[in-house]
């Protein structure tokens, strides 16, 4: 388990246009551990086109590049990881397809059962949430901090907390034992730009659970 909570960025659905410049600005702050490429409704050829410059930026800054939901695309790109939603693929099958070195994460919502299943299947991390209302996606599942505390005490598989997390509300998440916080809107929609937004959250993470 990580000794500190780290930052896991998730892309907006629209990564065309000037988004590569925004990603470079965010990663230039040098506090990001992983970036998840999350697009919907694109064929694999188009998704690969959009992913290519973003993956290059991640390599430049030594940030893990994770593909959302698509094992075939992750394999095509040689991605560092794939993130599977419930119903989006089997961990064991993904492992067989991608190999032992690729990180596989699983969305577990607010479910201890899903998380234990994912861990048993060989997932490298589990994601819980949403912890707060999110402007990025619908949040039909609400997770509580006790879930993070339980997981942190029970297992060494890292946990990712997701859902409406900002620099202002991250403290309880950190205190509860999350290994990573996943952030999207708080970075890409920030008034002062993504670099300053990353710095603000990274500063909060560096303080741990302090108020």
The residues, any chain, with a CB within 8 Å of residue 194's CB and separated by 6 or more, are: 22, 23, 25, 26, 29, 187, 188
Indicate whether 156 belongs to any domain.
yes
pLDDT of the residue at 2: 42
Indicate whether 200 belongs to any domain.
yes
pLDDT of the residue at 140: 79
Indicate whether 211 belongs to any domain.
no
How many angstroms separate the most distant Cα atoms in the chain? 46
Indicate whether 142 belongs to any domain.
yes
Indicate whether 1 belongs to any domain.
no
The stretches in the chain having pLDDT less than 50 are 1-2, 211
The two tokens of residue 153 are 């005490």
pLDDT of the residue at 152: 95
pLDDT of the residue at 141: 85
Indicate whether 52 belongs to any domain.
yes
Cα 145 to Cα 56: distance, rounded to the nearest angstrom: 36
The residues pairing with 162 across neighbouring beta strands, listed in sequence order, are 129, 182
pLDDT of the residue at 59: 98
pLDDT of the residue at 153: 95
pLDDT of the residue at 170: 94
Return the CATH number at 49: 3.20.20.70
Which residues form the domain of 81?
6-206
Number of domains making up the chain: 1
pLDDT of the residue at 136: 64
pTM of the model as a whole:
0.94
Indicate whether 103 belongs to any domain.
yes
pLDDT of the residue at 1: 35
User: What three-state secondary structure class fits 194?
Assistant: helix
Pair 211, 39: CB distance under 8 Å: no
Q: How many C-beta atoms surround the C-beta of residue 88 within 10 A?
A: 15
pLDDT of the residue at 138: 67
């Amino acid at each position: 388990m990580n000794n500190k909570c780290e930052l896991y960025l998730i892309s907006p659905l629209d990564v065309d246009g000037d988004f590569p410049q925004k990603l470079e600005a965010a990663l230039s702050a040098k506090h990001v551990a992983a970036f998840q490429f999350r697009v919907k409704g694109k064929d694999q050829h188009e998704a690969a086109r959009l992913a290519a410059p973003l993956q290059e930026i991640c390599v430049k800054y030594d940030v893990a590049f994770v593909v959302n939901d698509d094992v075939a695309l992750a394999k095509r790109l040689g991605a560092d990881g794939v993130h599977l939603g419930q119903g989006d693929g089997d961990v064991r099958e993904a492992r067989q397809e991608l190999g032992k070195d690729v990180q596989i994460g699983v969305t577990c919502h607010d479910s201890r059962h899903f998380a234990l299943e994912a861990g048993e299947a060989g997932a490298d991390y589990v994601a819980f949430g949403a912890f707060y209302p999110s402007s990025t996606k619908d949040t039909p599942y609400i997770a509580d901090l006790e879930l993070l505390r339980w997981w942190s005490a029970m297992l060494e598989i890292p946990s990712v907390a997701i859902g409406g997390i900002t620099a202002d509300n991250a403290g309880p998440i950190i205190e509860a034992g999350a290994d990573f916080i996943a952030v999207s809107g708080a970075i890409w929609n920030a008034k002062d730009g993504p670099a300053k937004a990353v710095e603000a959250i990274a500063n909060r993470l560096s303080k741990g659970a302090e108020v």
